[in-house]
Each structure stands twice: as C-alpha cells, then as structure tokens.
C-alpha cells in the first residue's frame, strides 16, 4: 500500500467500534523479542543492524500477519513520513528517531505492526478497536509462535524473554488500553484514578506516550510489571480495572449533566462552533475542543456528527497528517490555517450529509 | 561526596530504576536506612525496598564489571539503561537481580516459553564473540583470518537455524 493512501484511512485503533467504544478507543498488546545470534541494539553497529534487518526480512516471507501487508525501511523514509507513521501509532518515536537499518511491517488494516531494530530487535503489536484485550492476545501470541518457528529468541528459564531494558524482561509484554476521559478530567477526579492505578503498578500516559498531561483527554493505561506473572494474569490486571474506570467516567458525566446541563451543553456547543468556524487553530486547541465534541456526541448534545468522524479528525489534524492530506510541506503558521480550513470542510460536510439522510 | 538528601558525607551508592532508566543515588548512612524502608520509585511503589547500599570499595569493583560477550561495562549500563546482549543478564546477574526485584517484585519468569528447548547459550556467545573478532580482523586488514571467521559464523548460524526449524 502507498503511504499517501493511508492518510485517507482511519486505521484499526480509530475505527470507533467494539465494546465500550464510547470510552475505550482501542486495546493494544505488544511483545518485545530479541534474536539469539545478535547483540542487543545498544551494542549493534550499523553493519550488525543491517544484518538483523536482513535476517528478519528473509524469514518473514512465510509468516502470516493476518492479511496483506506493507514493509517499509524506515531509514529510507523522509522525516515527514516517519512522523506520519508515529501519529498513526504504527511505529514508535524511538524507531522514527533512531539510526541505521530499521523497518516496520504492518497489515493494510493497521491492526498488526512489527518493528525491527527498535529498542529490541523485534517489537510486535496488535490493535483492536474498543475494549478487546483477549482478541489482541490470541492474535499476537499466534504471531509470536510463527516468528519463533523461524527466528530463535533470547530466552532464559529464570528471566524469560531477555530484553534490552530490564523493565521489559520476562514476558516482554505491554498491555494497554486507550481511554477517553473528559468527564474525569473536567471534574479533577482523574487524579484519584491515577493514584489508584499507580498503587496497583499500572502506568498512565498520554496518547502519544508523552507525560501525564494528555492531549484531548486521552489516556493510555498499561502494565509496568513484565516478570514473574503470566501474560494472562497481566492482561487480567488491566481487564479488571478498566470497567471501573469506564463506570466512573459514566457516573461523572451523568452527574455533570444532571447538575449543570446548561453549562455542559454550552461548553460543547461552543467547542463545536469554534471548530466549524475558526480560521487558524493549533493542534493542542483542536484536540481539546474535539474532546468536548466527542463527549457531546456520546451524551446526545450533538446529533449530526458520527463518532467515527470525530475519531478520525483526532488523527487527521496532526501535523504530518495535515501535510499529507494537503500534499505539501507547511510551516506551523500555515498548518494552523490549513487545519482550520480542513475542520470547517469536514464538519460542515458531516452535518449537511447527515441532514440529508435525516431529511 | 555529599549526600543527596542532607549535608552529610555520602557513603552509600544506590542504583535505582526510574522510567526504565537507572539513576544513581548517593546517600549518607542515615538517609540510606530511611531509603530502604520507603520506596522511591513511583513506578513500583509496592516493590520491596532498594538494593542494599554499597561502600566505596564495592562500588569500585562494580565499575570494573564487564560482560565478556559484548564488552559492555556495568557502568555504561547504568548510564544508558540498556543492556548490550542476552549474556549481560548472566554477567551482571548479582547486580541485576535486586534491580529486577525492585521493578517487578519477582525474579522468576512465569508465562510463555519458546516451544522448543532454549538454545545452546555457549554457541550464541561464540557467535557474538566471532562477529566482534571478524570486525577487528577486517580493521587490521587480516582478510584471510576474517574469511575464516566468517565461515565459522555461517556454520554456527546454520546450526542454530536448523535447531530452530527442527
Ligand atoms: Zn543524608
Ligand atoms: Zn553483554
């Protein structure tokens, strides 16, 4: 698939379907693996990195990723293209900014991606829209088995899969869910959630893995511990806690509407209005306003906008996506104008399209 | 050296992992004792207290610790937070176990394992060692030697590959 074709598409994690998808955008599991015959990336010079990449590429022809796939040599990509893949969560920022031979495989559906020469030789991840960690685990464990048939992994009986950083040793698993929590953020309750999660060794990050100051009220919750507990147990620790957070967010939203219906409606209507009429807008402001709009759709204050469109906009207003869609390189000032124009068009189209279907 | 927490002299040197990156703490005896009972890392608050404090002499010994396979020094690991090869886990075992226990609360893997027996680790070490020998042979322009080593590497790789498919 051509990279430019991707810009028009939504990708698995923004599909907006699946269980609890009003609050849980997506579920993801990644596994870290290293090949026995090579040093870790830290001690691999560019020659060795190239050899690792070749070894993986030669063995991967027989491996099924569950659909047609694209293979990209990340070191041969332009900076904009690398940024674009980071925004889509197909590669990590670390892989984008690293050096030497490195690559990514991903399926057309963008539900499976496999990074070569990231922090570990192999980083594979599986996404599912909504709250569905079991499906992620079944799929990624199967992929892991297939890879292991042709690529011997570093493993010890004592410490499990051996990874470049001891924080990933053992299972090498990172289980995460991406949650939209505008109600908990608005009421300040979100801090209590974080404290409770940290007590049970779960981590909280923003959408693109930045600090806890999350853009658009999106939070990723993931496990910290990888050693000494079986994968299913680590998955269960997330599976058990997420329904509580969902219930908490719903409760807070309900209370907000009951106590301050007019104020909430006003906030949402203003956010929607600004997005439909602004002439220049930053990605930070857009994310914040889209967050209110997304909640407005879920609460029924906005009825002419599909949730899937809102999800898609969160991605398409990101700097690299915007430039891909405009097919031109833009500086930050131009991007703000282009972003506003894009939002005006998409949000007007969306509401007039749904008017016609309703009309 | 001054204690990180108070004006007294630091006699304990502790490695802690925060956000996956080891950091060094230099503490006086009193602060080190306190440190052992209060976990610092917000990443693993329920994990048992730190690796015990170390004296200057023990620390010096630690500085000389090097992985025989990839030649990474323990000191470099502490600076970068990344190990150099799978054998570093063996070479730095005594130092890593308290660290792993602090991060994960456990030091014995449970869960998925490769379906076949673990690879012969000596051959794996040989491979990594041979690669670095080949590199130095080339840089010294000993091309015949380099070719010999290359053949050995290919032989070993075939063996490992054969096992992995068998
Ligand atoms: Zn002190
Ligand atoms: Zn090593």
The 10s digit of each residue's pLDDT in A114-147 is 999 999 999 999 999 999 999 999 999 999 999 9
Question: How high is the pLDDT of residue A209?
Answer: 58
Within an 8 Å CB–CB cutoff, is residue B158 touching chain A? no
Is the pLDDT assigned to residue A182 strictly greater than 70?
Answer: yes
Most confident of A30-44, A195-209, B58-72, B150-164: A30-44
At a CB cut-off of 8 Å and minimum separation 6, what does A42 contact? A164, B72, B80, B82, B83, B84
Question: How high is the pLDDT of residue B64?
Answer: 83
Question: How high is the pLDDT of residue B42?
Answer: 35
Question: How high is the pLDDT of residue A14?
Answer: 76
Same domain, A280 and A230: no
Of A37, A42, A169, the CB nearest to B80: A42
Q: How far, in Å, from the CA of B9 to the mean position of ligand 1?
A: 7
* Last residue in a domain, options A183, A216, A242: A242
* Last residue in a domain, options A196, A216, A242: A242
Mean per-residue pLDDT of chain A: 90
- Expressed as residue numbers, the domain containing A197 is 3-242
> Quick one: average pLDDT of B22-40?
60
At a CB cut-off of 8 Å and minimum separation 6, what does A17 contact? A129, A130, A308
Q: Do the strands A160-161 and A173-180 form a parallel or antiparallel pair, or are they unpaired?
A: unpaired
> Quick one: average pLDDT of A138-162?
93
CA distance B80 to A1: 37
From the candidates B16, B67, B71, B103, which should be mutated to test the interface with A, based on the most A CB atoms within 10 A? B103
Q: How far, in Å, from the CA of A165 to the mean position of ligand 2?
A: 12
Phi-psi sector, A16: left (phi>0), alpha (psi -120 to 50), beta = left
Answer yes or no: are the C-beta atoms of A106 and A18 closer than 8 Å.
Answer: no
- Tokens, residue B46: 């329920």
Same domain, A327 and A191: no
At how many degrees (to 10) do helices A133-150 and B143-165 cross? Answer: 130
**Percent with pLDDT over 70 in chain B:** 61
Is the pLDDT assigned to residue B147 strictly greater than 50?
Answer: yes
Tokens 């506003």 identify what position? Answer: A340
Domains of chain A: total: 2
- Cβ contact A40–B82 (<8 Å): yes
Question: How high is the pLDDT of residue A18?
Answer: 80
> Quick one: average pLDDT of B132-148?
86
CATH number, domain containing residue A212:
3.30.590.10
What is the least distance, in Å, from the CA of B41 to any CA of chain A?
A: 11
* Last residue in a domain, options A242, A274, A308: A242
CA distance A190 to A260: 19
> Quick one: average pLDDT of B47-53?
40
At a CB cut-off of 8 Å and minimum separation 6, what does A312 contact? A10, A14
Q: How far, in Å, from the CA of A164 to the mean position of ligand 2?
A: 10
> Quick one: average pLDDT of A6-23?
79
- Tokens, residue B70: 């990839």
Within an 8 Å CB–CB cutoff, is residue A195 touching chain B? no
Is the pLDDT assigned to residue A59 strictly greater than 90?
Answer: no
Same domain, A20 and A73: yes
Q: How far, in Å, from the CA of A40 to the mean position of ligand 2?
A: 8
Of B110, B113, B128, the CB nearest to A229: B110
Question: How high is the pLDDT of residue A117?
Answer: 97
Same domain, A18 and A161: yes
From the candidates A31, A35, A37, A191, which should be mutated to test the interface with B, based on the most B CB atoms within 10 A? A37
Q: Do the strands A122-129 and A24-33 form a parallel or antiparallel pair, or are they unpaired?
A: antiparallel
Question: How high is the pLDDT of residue B155?
Answer: 87
Question: How high is the pLDDT of residue A69?
Answer: 85
Same domain, A7 and A109: yes
Question: How high is the pLDDT of residue B14?
Answer: 64
Same domain, A213 and A276: no
> Quick one: average pLDDT of A78-83?
93
Q: How far is CA A309 from CA A10, A19, A129, A240, A319, in A?
A: 9, 18, 15, 30, 18
> Quick one: average pLDDT of A26-48?
95
Within an 8 Å CB–CB cutoff, is residue B57 touching chain A? no
Of A148, A164, A170, the CB nearest to B114: A148
**pTM of the entire structure?**
0.79
Chain mean position to CA B52 = 18
Of A42, A154, A228, the CB nearest to B106: A228
Is the pLDDT assigned to residue B45 strictly greater than 50?
Answer: no
Q: In degrees rounded to 5, what are phi and psi of residue A154?
A: -70, 125
Same domain, A86 and A108: yes
> Quick one: average pLDDT of B126-148?
84
Q: How far, in Å, from the CA of B27 to the mean position of ligand 1?
A: 5
Within an 8 Å CB–CB cutoff, is residue B165 touching chain A? yes
Within an 8 Å CB–CB cutoff, is residue B109 touching chain A? yes
Most confident of A39-48, A320-329, B32-41: A39-48
CA distance A222 to A317: 26
- Tokens, residue A133: 């960690």
Q: How far is CA A10 from CA A178, B49, B143, in A?
A: 16, 46, 53
Nearest CA in chain B to A200: B46
Question: How high is the pLDDT of residue A2?
Answer: 72
Answer yes or no: are the C-beta atoms of B121 and A204 closer than 8 Å.
Answer: no
Q: How far, in Å, from the CA of B155 to the mean position of ligand 2?
A: 22
Same domain, A281 and A344: yes
Q: What is the value of ipTM here, to two decimals?
A: 0.88
Of A82-86, A106-110, A211-215, A253-257, the range with the lowest mean pLDDT is A211-215
Question: How high is the pLDDT of residue A54?
Answer: 94
Question: How high is the pLDDT of residue A212?
Answer: 45
Same domain, A122 and A87: yes
Same domain, A196 and A51: yes
Question: How high is the pLDDT of residue B6?
Answer: 72
One DSSP character per residue, A5-45 reads: HHTT---GGGS--STTTTTEEEEEEEEEE-BTTS--GGG--
Same domain, A90 and A195: yes
pLDDT tens digits along B96-126: 999 999 999 999 999 999 876 555 556 766 7
Degrees (nearest 5) of the Cα angle B95, B109, A224?
Answer: 80
Q: Enumerate the β-bridge partners of residue A106.
A: A70, A113
Answer yes or no: are the C-beta atoms of B95 and B54 closer than 8 Å.
Answer: no
CA distance B76 to B18: 16
- What is the CB neighbour count within 10 angstroms for residue B147? 13
pLDDT greater at residue A299 or residue A214:
A299
- Collapse the DSSP code of A184 into the 3-class scheme (helix H, G, I; strand E, B; otherwise coil) and give the result: helix
pLDDT greater at residue B24 or residue B22:
B24
Of B84, B105, B114, the CB nearest to A39: B84
Is the pLDDT assigned to residue A211 strictly greater than 60?
Answer: no
Is the pLDDT assigned to residue B145 strictly greater than 80?
Answer: yes
Question: How high is the pLDDT of residue B159?
Answer: 79
Question: How high is the pLDDT of residue A67?
Answer: 76
**Percent with pLDDT over 90 in chain A:** 73
Is the pLDDT assigned to residue A86 strictly greater than 90?
Answer: yes
pLDDT band at residue A357 using 50, 70 and 90 as cut-offs: very low
Same domain, A254 and A234: no
């Amino acid at each position: 698939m051509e990279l430019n074709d991707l810009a028009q598409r939504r990708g698995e994690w923004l599909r907006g379907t699946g269980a609890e998808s009003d609050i849980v955008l997506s579920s993801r599991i990644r596994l870290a693996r290293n090949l026995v015959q090579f040093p870790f990336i830290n001690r691999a010079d560019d020659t060795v990195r190239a050899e690792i990449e070749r070894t993986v590429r030669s063995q991967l022809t027989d491996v099924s990723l569950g659909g047609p796939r694209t293979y990209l040599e990340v070191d041969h990509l332009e900076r904009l293209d690398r940024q674009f893949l980071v925004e889509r969560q197909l590669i990590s920022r670390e892989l984008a900014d690293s050096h030497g031979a490195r690559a990514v495989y991903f399926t057309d559906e963008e539900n499976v991606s496999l990074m070569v020469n990231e922090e570990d030789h192999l980083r594979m991840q599986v996404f599912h829209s909504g709250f569905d960690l079991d499906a992620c685990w079944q799929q990624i464990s199967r992929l892991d088995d297939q890879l292991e048939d042709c690529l011997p992994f570093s493993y010890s009986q004592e410490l499990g899969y051996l990874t470049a950083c001891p924080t990933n040793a053992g299972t090498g698993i990172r289980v995460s869910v991406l949650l939209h929590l505008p109600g908990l953020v608005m009421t300040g309750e979100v801090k209590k959630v974080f404290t409770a999660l940290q007590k049970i060794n779960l981590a909280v990050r923003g959408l693109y893995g930045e600090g806890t100051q999350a853009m658009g009220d999106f939070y990723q919750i993931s496990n910290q511990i990888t050693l000494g507990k079986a994968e299913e147990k680590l998955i269960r620790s997330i599976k058990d806690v997420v329904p509580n957070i969902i219930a908490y967010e719903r409760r807070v939203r309900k209370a907000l509407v009951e106590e301050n219906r007019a104020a909430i409606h006003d906030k949402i209507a203003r956010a929607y209005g600004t997005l439909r009429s602004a002439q220049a807008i930053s990605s930070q402001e857009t994310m914040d306003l889209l967050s209110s709009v997304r909640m407005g759709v879920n609460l029924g204050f906005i009825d002419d906008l599909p949730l899937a469109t809102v999800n898609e906009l969160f991605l398409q207003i990101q700097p690299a996506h915007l430039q891909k869609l405009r097919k031109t390189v833009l500086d930050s000032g131009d991007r703000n104008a282009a972003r506003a124009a894009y939002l005006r068009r998409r949000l007007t189209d969306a509401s007039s399209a749904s008017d016609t279907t309703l009309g | 050296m001054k204690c990180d927490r108070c004006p007294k002299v630091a006699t304990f040197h502790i490695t802690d992992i925060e956000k996956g990156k080891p950091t060094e703490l230099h503490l006086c005896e009193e602060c080190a004792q306190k440190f052992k009972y209060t976990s610092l890392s917000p990443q693993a608050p329920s994990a048992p207290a730190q690796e015990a404090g170390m004296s200057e002499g023990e620390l010096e010994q630690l500085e000389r610790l090097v992985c025989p396979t990839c030649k990474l020094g323990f000191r470099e690991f502490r600076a970068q937070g990344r190990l150099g090869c799978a054998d570093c886990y063996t070479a730095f075992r005594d130092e890593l176990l308290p660290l792993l226990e602090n991060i994960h609360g456990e030091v014995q893997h449970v869960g998925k394992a490769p379906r076949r027996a673990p690879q012969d680790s000596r051959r794996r070490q040989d491979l990594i060692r041979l690669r670095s020998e080949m590199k130095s042979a080339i840089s010294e322009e000993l091309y015949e030697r380099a070719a010999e080593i290359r053949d050995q590497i290919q032989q070993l790789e075939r063996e490992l590959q054969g096992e992995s498919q068998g």
